[in-house]
């Protein structure tokens, strides 16, 4: 689809802010899937050149990918999903416990940002969503888990705002204020892209970035650019591509053949334990 420009409250954004499409390929071939990515970049090129004379993200315009193995799922952080839906105090309690009880694994106290990055990569519910710079990593997670082979998957595409003026510095910006439980508060507002330091080999292997949102109960697609200040809102455009269920198994096999599998995505003991039988299963497919 062609993307046109709208400007809201100082934010340059695509219109519509959110759109949907179908990853329809002529056979389950990765190169055909990547055609969708190339077409998106081509459409964005004209739009970005109209916005700024000097586009910092000249090669890929800050495009990031997130796979979900069920297309029916909202773009919602784990802290806001059904079965969790934690309030701020519960989220604070979980992160603080994670920080305390992880001391024995690291022999030191984790910083605020280390705590939330590691917590997310080890399945503690929080207000972050994981994305990848690599479209094949996103495609892998859209197809992953055989129990969902009968469900269409989704590959989400996020295009960041083209300027870097309001990029968040996670080295020097505090994540939350917490002296007493009663006055705890998250200090970062709106929807921000977080570029993590590599505190886990999983972050490196998955070319990972995160989105942070101040309301984890609200799907990312339901934020309205008209209500946001630019410094608090880093998204230019969102798309959702449905990955038909009939392609999932073959795509997983092709991805594994080029080294994209659970074992490579999670280069740790858990990755070995889950990844080895998955590869063996794909070889028999």
Any idea where the domains of the chain sit in the sequence?
Answer: 4-283
Scored b (16 or more CB within 10 A) or e, 141-162 reads bbbbeeebeebbbbbbbbbbbb
**CB 205, CB 119: distance < 8 Å:** no
Reported as a single tens digit per residue, the pLDDT across 31-57 is 778 887 888 777 777 666 666 555 555
Tell me the β-bridge partners of 6: 13
Length of the chain: 285
Q: C-alpha angle 161/113/201, rounded to 5°? A: 90
Average pLDDT in the 19-40 region? 73
Long-range contacts: 265-271, Cβ < 8 Å, 24+?
A: 265/137, 265/140, 265/202, 265/205, 265/206, 266/202, 266/205, 267/201, 267/202, 267/205, 268/201, 268/202
One DSSP character per residue, 92-156 reads HHHHHHHHHHTHHHHTSPPPHHHHHHHHHHTT---SEEEEES-HHHHHHHHH--GGGTTS-EEEE
Is the distance from CB of 144 to CB of 266 less than 8 angstroms? no
Report yes or no on whether pTM surpasses 0.75. yes
Q: Give the Cα separation of 278 and 261 in Å (integer).
A: 8
Q: Is the pLDDT score of 225 beyond 90?
A: no
Q: Does position 199 have pLDDT exceeding 90, yes or no?
A: no
Q: Name 95's Cβ contacts closer than 8 Å, sequence gap at least 6.
A: 115, 116, 119, 124, 126
Q: What is the per-residue pLDDT for 32? A: 78
Torsion angle, alpha carbons of 258, 262, 266, 270, to 10: -140
- Reported as a single tens digit per residue, the pLDDT across 236-275 is 889 898 888 988 988 898 899 889 999 898 888 777 777 7
Q: Across all residues in the chain, what is the average pLDDT?
A: 84
Kind plus residue range of the DSSP H or E element containing 243? strand 235-243
């Amino acid at each position: 689809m062609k993307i046109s420009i709208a400007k809201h409250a100082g934010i340059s954004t695509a219109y519509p802010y959110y759109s949907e499409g179908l990853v329809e390929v002529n056979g389950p071939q990765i190169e055909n899937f990547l055609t969708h990515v190339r077409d998106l970049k081509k459409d964005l090129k004209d739009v970005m050149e109209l916005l700024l004379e000097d586009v910092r993200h000249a090669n890929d315009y800050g495009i990031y990918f997130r796979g979900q193995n069920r297309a029916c799922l909202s773009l919602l952080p784990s802290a806001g999903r059904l079965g969790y839906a934690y309030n701020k105090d519960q989220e604070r309690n979980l992160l603080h416990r994670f920080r305390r009880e992880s001391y024995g694994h690291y022999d030191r106290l984790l910083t605020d940002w280390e705590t939330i990055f590691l917590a997310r990569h080890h399945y503690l519910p929080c207000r972050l969503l994981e994305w990848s710079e690599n479209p094949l990593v996103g495609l892998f997670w859209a197809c992953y888990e055989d129990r969902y082979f009968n469900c269409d998957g989704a590959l989400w595409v996020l295009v960041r705002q083209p300027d870097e003026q309001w990029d968040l510095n996670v080295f020097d910006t505090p994540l939350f204020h917490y002296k007493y439980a009663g006055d705890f508060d998250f200090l970062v507002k709106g929807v921000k892209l977080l570029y993590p330091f590599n505190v886990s080999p999983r972050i490196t292997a998955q070319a990972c970035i995160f989105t942070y949102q101040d309301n984890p109960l609200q799907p990312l697609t339901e934020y309205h650019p008209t209500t946001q200040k630019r410094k608090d809102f880093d998204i230019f455009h969102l798309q959702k591509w449905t990955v038909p269920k009939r392609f999932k198994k073959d795509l997983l096999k092709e991805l594994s053949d080029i080294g994209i599998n659970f074992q490579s995505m999670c280069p740790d003991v858990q990755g070995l334990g889950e990844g080895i039988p998955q590869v063996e299963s794909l070889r028999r497919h």
